[in-house]
Structure 1
Amino acid sequence: MPATFVVVPLWQGSVSSRAMSHADGAEAIRGDLPNSSTVMVEVPVEAGESLGTGVQRYSTLLRVHERTTAALSHLPDWALTIGGDCSASLASVAHASARAAGDLAVLWLDAHPDLNTPAASPSGGFGGMTLRAITGEGADGLALGPETRVPPERLVLGGIRAIDDEESRFIEAHDVTALTVEDLSDPSLVIAALEATGASQVFIHIDLDVLDPAELAGLSYPMPFGIGVAELVALVRAVAARFPLAGAAIAGFAPASPQSADDDLPTILRLIGALTSGGATPR
């Protein structure tokens, strides 16, 4: 079956000065998706409170996570989640992990590893904690449980080039595979790293800041020396051809204006096409 698009215009996980533009980005992408296979998750307008968790806007993030989980639970097949910031991927990975019965690797394509904890995070932004929460560590309600968490040995990071101290410690302590931007230009290296996890199904997360800023203007955290669009599309198509996808996500689109969004959308639609090129996981 084709993917269902789950649009989550979540901005509360970002601490960028352009955080709220993530909601605009999700809405812009939604305009080019088929209505019949698109599900919207309502995101509250209020920022939310940390409630002593060390996570900024925790109360709203928790509510959106619960709503996204509920929306995903009704889907007959796999989902391509459209954020919003990276926080939207948490429920999506849980859904994919449950579908794969734990037989899941996560390919995290991002300029940042997003492996901080509430205690160690320099900013308190949950977007920078999302992958750590996927491994099962994080604030109550925002960390996956033993049935759906993805262990560190099933993670493959790609294109990271801004790493905090705690993230570096975690990567080294757990021997997490981290591939450079140059490595991503050779899909065989990425496929080999995913094969080495032992998992037979894959979730692909794309934070658009894995791209070089020259390729896409609508980035809240532009980082130089990223991958090119053509190389990223080729990589995603190769992975989707080799592995059944249990799910996928695109995050981090933060256009400065409607015109800027229009300029960037063809690039994003190419990535959506690549993600949906290989089909879903078998039932």
Structure 2
Amino acid sequence: MAPSFVVVPQWQGSVSPRAMRLSDGAEAIRGDLPYSVTREVPVPVEAGDSLDTGIDRFSTLMMVRERLTAALHGGAGPVVTIGGDNGVSLAAVEHASRQHPDDLAVVWLDAHPDLHTPDTSPSGGFTGMVLRAITGEGADGLTLDPGERVPLERVVIGGARAIDPAEDALIQDRGIVSLPVEDLDPPDALVAALRATGVGTFYLHLDLDVLDPSALAGLADLYPFGLSVDTLNRLITALRAEFELAGATIAGFAPASPEAATDDLPSILRIIGALTRPAQP
């Protein structure tokens, strides 16, 4: 079944000084998506309040989560969710998990592992807590329930190179698979790591900051020594050749201007093509 798209121009999970550009990035991508299979989730203008949760803008993040959950409800087939910031993956993975109970792994391609909780986060930004929330740990309201959460043993992180001490300790203590950039080309190690989870279906979270800044100018955060677009597309193709894609997120596009967005969009559309074209066995 061909995938559909949902666009969520949320910026409130980010703590980047370029956070407001994330809305512009999501809208820029939406302009090149097929209208008939694309929906947009409205995002409030207001920043929102923490409500003593330890998560900045918690109230707005909750509102957007509820709206995205409603937009996804009842849909069949894979959905490509376009952020905005990483926080959009929480409801998106929840939807995929309901469609594939007990047979879903998460591949997290991101410059950050996003494994904080409100107790460990140095910033309070939900973007740094999303993967931990997907595994069921974090603040009430922004974590997945037992029936939908994806356990850490079914998580594979790739390309993380901005890892805080608390996240590194968790990776070591829990034995989380985290593959550095140099282990991702060729894609064999990532395919083997996903195979080792024992499941046949995966959700792909892609924060564009996993790419090297030379590959894409419009990044909310700039971390050198990342992937090229060609390497990323080879990874996607290799994963889809062996496993079913349950859904995907593309987040973190923060162009400085409409003109800058135009320069980056061909690369992003190539990535979308790798996600949506028929898988090659």
The Cα offsets for residues 12-70 of structure 1, whole Å up to 9 and x where unpaired, read as: 00011110100000000000001100011010000000000000000000000011011
Structure 2 counterpart of 1:209: 209
Residue type of the alignment partner of 1:88 = V
Q: CA deviation at 1:170?
A: 1.3
Structure 1 counterpart of 2:238: 238
Q: CA deviation at 1:76?
A: 2.4
Residue type of the alignment partner of 1:186 = P
Structure 2 counterpart of 1:48: 48
Does 2:185 align with 1:185? yes
> Structure 1: how far apart are the matches of 2:76 and 2:101?
16
Q: Unpaired segments of 5 or more residues in structure 1?
A: none
Structure 2 counterpart of 1:169: 169
Residue type of the alignment partner of 1:205 = H
Structure 1 counterpart of 2:118: 118
Structure 1 counterpart of 2:254: 254
> Structure 1: how far apart are the matches of 2:224 and 2:120?
25
The Cα offsets for residues 144-202 of structure 1, whole Å up to 9 and x where unpaired, read as: 00011000000000000011121111111110001111111111111100000111100
Normalising to structure 2: TM-score of the pair?
A: 0.98
Structure 2 counterpart of 1:5: 5
Normalising to structure 1: TM-score of the pair?
A: 0.97
Residue type of the alignment partner of 2:270 = R
Secondary structure of the equivalent of 1:261? helix
Structure 2 counterpart of 1:79: 79
Q: CA deviation at 1:74?
A: 3.0
Secondary structure of the equivalent of 1:81? strand
> Structure 1: how far apart are the matches of 2:276 and 2:170?
32
> Structure 2: how far apart are the matches of 1:193 and 1:57?
35
Aligned residues: 279
> Structure 2: how far apart are the matches of 1:135 and 1:277?
29
Alignment of 1:65-104 (within 5 A): 65-104=65-104
Q: CA deviation at 1:277?
A: 2.5
Structure 2 counterpart of 1:228: 228
Structure 2 counterpart of 1:30: 30
Tell me if the contact between 1:202 and 1:245 (Cα under 8 Å) persists in the aligned partners. yes
Secondary structure of the equivalent of 1:206? strand
Q: CA deviation at 1:78?
A: 1.6
Does 2:98 align with 1:109? no
> Structure 2: how far apart are the matches of 1:79 and 1:225?
30
Residue type of the alignment partner of 2:55 = V
> Structure 2: how far apart are the matches of 1:237 and 1:43?
32
> Structure 1: how far apart are the matches of 2:45 and 2:39?
19
> Structure 1: how far apart are the matches of 2:96 and 2:104?
8
Q: CA deviation at 1:86?
A: 0.3
Structure 1 counterpart of 2:272: 272
> Structure 2: how far apart are the matches of 1:29 and 1:21?
12
Segments of 4+ moved more than 4 angstroms: none
Secondary structure of the equivalent of 1:105? strand
The Cα offsets for residues 110-164 of structure 1, whole Å up to 9 and x where unpaired, read as: 0000000011100000000000000001111100000110000000000000111
> Structure 2: how far apart are the matches of 1:196 and 1:186?
17
Secondary structure of the equivalent of 1:132? helix
Residue type of the alignment partner of 1:223 = Y
Residue type of the alignment partner of 1:276 = T
> Structure 2: how far apart are the matches of 1:102 and 1:268?
31
Residue type of the alignment partner of 1:163 = I
> Structure 2: how far apart are the matches of 1:130 and 1:92?
11
The Cα offsets for residues 180-237 of structure 1, whole Å up to 9 and x where unpaired, read as: 1111111111110000011110001110000000000001111000011111111111
CA-atom RMSD, angstroms? 0.8
> Structure 2: how far apart are the matches of 1:131 and 1:101?
18
Secondary structure of the equivalent of 2:129? helix
Q: CA deviation at 1:278?
A: 4.1
